[in-house]
Every structure is written in structure tokens, then in C-alpha cells.
Amino acid sequence: MLDISKLLEEIKQTPFDEVEIISPWCGRVSCADINEDDPVSGPCGSWLEIPGTLLASVEREHNPKPVRAPEKGRIKLIRKELEGQFIEAGTPLVTLKHFLTKQEVIQIILRQALHLFNAPERAKYYFVPEVDMKIRTAGHRSVRVNDGMDLFIMSRMKREVTLPYSGPEGLIYSVYFSHNENVGAGDPLIGVCPEELMPIVEDVVARVQAEWEEQD
């Protein structure tokens, strides 16, 4: 049985997350006008249509490409010494201190509760087209999975195979992988919520909503 209080207490010990923001590309850096300890925001608006705070811009092939804050937080470290320099892809630019949101806390706790379906191999994963379509239009919580159902396409070594889901029947409650990124063997792909777990999930959501205070 899930001990929500205990988990919540644990998280409250370290309610921060440190996010290292790297440049996804090569290019020449110009830092935005921000400083350490400045607050930044991630994408927001009803449709996340307002982009996050500009942290830096990396110009590649005469195309200045913005690097933005992926979530709300404060700047812990900004590498202003890189200003004007050419950097390689993957170079860290900024470290953010991010206070966990209710949603994130819920996700952390639910990882203990949901049925996790893990990646069998290091590979890139995609939902099969029919499921992908449904997720795009109605969100992943609209997808009910059952044992043996073709759910993923596993792509590695330029080959693609379909990967059936195995486990209890239920709704996809969480998706842990993203487009075009490798998932290590044994890492979770999705968290599935079977019918009987629904009360627990609801309980977690209610508890976190009530007990977790979001901070900047």
C-alpha cells in the first residue's frame, strides 16, 4: 500500500529540482539580459502558447536560435563567460533551481503507484500511429491499453519493430518518454492506471493538491 504521507514528507525535504539547461546546438552564444537569482518562467498560457523566459541565444548559420527556460524557477548559475564564444552541442548554459509543482509531485508519487511498462532495450520509442493519433487529439489519458495490444514502435539500428504492451488493463496515466529521444533499457515508458488503482490515484491527487504549496 502506498504511504502517501511518507512520500510527501520525503519530497518536502528536497522540494527543489536542479535543471541544467544545455545548448542543443553548436553556435555562437549571446546571453540574455538575466542574472543569477532572477526568476524565470517556463512556457505558460492556457495553451502553453507563451514561451519561457529567454536565457540565451545560440546563433548557428546566421540563425539566432533561442534557448528558453523549460520551467519556472530561479537562475542558480549562468555561464556569462561563454558570451560571444562558439560552443559545441550539449554545452551547459544555465542551471535553474526549480521548485516542484503539484503536477510534478503527483507524478513522482504516482510512479510508485502506477503499473510501469519499461523499455526492453535502449531505443527510441513511438506510439503506433493509431494510438498516436488518439493521443494527439484527445490526450494520452484517453487511451485504454490491454495485455498484448500493439502499442509502441521500437526504433534502433535503423530498424523498427512493434512492441506490444504487457500488463494490466487500464488507462495510460503518464508518459515518460519524448519524441526522438533514446530510452535506456529498463526505464519506464508509460504508467498505466488499472481500474482498481483509480481511488489511490485520486487520493494522491487530492492530497497533493491540498498539502503541497507551490513556490517560485
Partner 1 sequence: MIDVDKKLHRLNDRLVYIKDIFAGKQDEAVRMLQVRLEEFQARVSEMSSQEKMSALSAMEELFTFMEQKLNEQLTPMDKVRIVRHPQRICLRDILENVYDNYTEIGGQDDKSIDPGMLIARAYITRKRGKALHNQPVMVIGQETGHGEEFRNGGSVKPWGNAKALQYMKVAEIENIPVHTYVFTPGSYPIEDYPGAAQQIARNLYEMAGLKVPVISVFSEGGSGGAEAIGLADRRLMLSHGYYSVISPEGAAAIEGRLRDGARAAPELIERCAMQLKMTAYDNLNHGLIDQVVEEPPLGAKPYHYEFFQSLRNELMRATDEVVLTTRSFALLRGAVSHPHRPKSLENYNAENFVTRWSLSPKARERLLTLRHKKFRNLSNGRWIDPRTPFDKTLSKIQATSTDLINLFRHDLWGRRKKQIGFAVEEMDAGARMLLHRIFTPFFSFMRELVGPRPQPRIAAEELTALSSWEEDNGKSSVWSYISSKAKVDRAVTCPNADKYGCLDLWAPDLYGEFAGVCTNCGHHFPMGYKWFMYNVFDPGSIQEFNQEIEAANPLNWDGFDAKLEQAKQKTGLKSGCITFEASINNTRMCVALLAASFRGGSVGVAEGEKFLSAIERAQRKRLPLLAYVHGTAGIRIQEGTNGVIQMPRCTMGVRRYIDAGGLYLVVYDTNSYAGPVASFLGCSPYQFAIRSTNLGFAGRGVIKETTGMDIPPDYHDAEKALSRGHIQGIWDRRDIRNNLHQALLTMGGRNLYYK
Partner 2 sequence: MEKHKVLIANRGEIAMRITRACQKLDLDFVCVYTAEDAHSGHVALARELGGDIYRVSSYHDANELMAVADASEATAVHPGYGFFAEDFRLSRRVTQRERGMIFIGPSWRVIRELGDKINTKRLARSLGVPTVPGSDKPIYDEMEAEHVAQSLYEFQLSSGIAQPTIMVKASAGGGGMGIEEVQDIAMFRSVYRRIRNYALRNFKDEGVLIEQRIRDFNHLEVQIVSDRSGKNPVHFGTRNCSIQSTGHQKRVEVAPGFAPDEISYAFDAAGVLSEITEHSLALARKVRYDNVGTWEWIVTRDGRPFLMEVNTRIQVENGVSGIIASIGDREGIDIIAEQIRVGLGEPLGYSQEDISLDGVGIEYRIIAEDPAAGFTPWVGRIEKFSWKQENWLEMYTQVPTDKPYDIPTEFDPNLALGIVWGRNMEEARARGAAFLNSLVLEGSDSSGNPLKSNISFLRAKTDEILRF
Which of 152, 156, 141, 130 lies closest to 193 in space, CA to CA? 141
Of the candidates 179, 196, 199, 216, which one interacts with partner 1 according to CB under 8 A? 179
C-alpha cell at 37: 537569482
Q: Does 137 bind partner 1 (CB under 8 A)?
A: no
Which of 120, 171, 166, 119 lies closest to 147 in space, CA to CA? 166
Smallest distance from partner 1 to CB 111, Å? 25
Binding partner of 26, given partner 1, partner 2, none, CB within 5-8 angstroms per partner class: partner 2
Q: Which stretch binds partner 2 (CB under 8 A): 10-18, 48-56, 58-66, 139-147?
A: 58-66
In the block, cell 526522438 appears at 180
Q: Measure the CA–CA gap between 77 and 68, rounded to whole angstroms.
A: 15
**Torsion angles phi and psi, residue 7, rounded to 5:** -60, -45
Q: Does 83 bind partner 2 (CB under 8 A)?
A: no
Smallest distance from partner 1 to CB 47, Å? 5
Q: Measure the CA–CA gap between 2 and 139, rounded to whole angstroms.
A: 26
Q: Which stretch binds partner 1 (CB under 8 A): 57-65, 72-80, 93-101, 183-191?
A: 57-65
Number of residues that bind partner 1 (CB under 8 A): 11
Binding partner of 157, given partner 2, partner 1, none, CB within 5-8 angstroms per partner class: partner 2
- Residues 96-155 interacting with partner 2 (rule: CB under 8 A): 121-124
Cβ contact 80:31 at 8 Å? yes
3-state secondary structure of 20: strand
Q: Does 89 bind partner 2 (CB under 8 A)?
A: yes
Smallest distance from partner 1 to CB 82, Å? 21
Handedness of CA 80, 66, 127, 175 (dihedral sign): positive
Q: Does 26 bind partner 2 (CB under 8 A)?
A: yes
End-to-end CA distance of the chain: 32
Binding partner of 182, given partner 2, partner 1, none, CB within 5-8 angstroms per partner class: partner 2
- Residues 173-212 interacting with partner 2 (rule: CB under 8 A): 182, 185-186
> Residue 74 forms beta bridges with which residues?
39, 97
Q: Which residues bind partner 1 (CB under 8 A)?
A: 45-47, 49, 60-63, 65, 179-180
